[in-house]
Amino acid sequence: METSTTAPDPTPERTDVIPESYAVHVGADRIDVWQYRITISEPDGAWHFVETLDRGNDPKLSMDQASPMPPTASGYWIYSRTYDCELDCE
């Protein structure tokens, strides 16, 4: 699993989301995960970058109530109530 302190592009565009839900962007080489959080400094909520997964590591994602969006040139978004990941540990 790769970690980064800088949020990658693209960022989630959806605003009609449930707090603590996830946006997963699947691109050709990586998967970027974001979580929508309500905080004291952002009481209306905002997307916060969680992690980047290298697709070469064969990540297996588990999501509940997932809504895939139509693909674009950079990949596609999946919005989900929950998110969990396992990496191929051979």
For the chain, what are the domain ranges? 22-85
Candidates 64, 57, 65; CA nearest to 84 is 64
Q: Give, in degrees to the nearest 5, the angle at Cα 64 between 59 and 69.
A: 75
Instruction: Show the tokens assigned to 70.
Output: 């139509």
pTM of the full structure? 0.86
pLDDT value at position 4?
A: 53
3-state secondary structure 26-50: ECCCEEEEEEEECCCCCCCCEEEEE
Instruction: Show the tokens assigned to 36.
Output: 């929508």
- DSSP, collapsed to helix, strand or coil, labels residue 75 as strand
Q: What is the mean pLDDT of residues 52-70?
A: 92
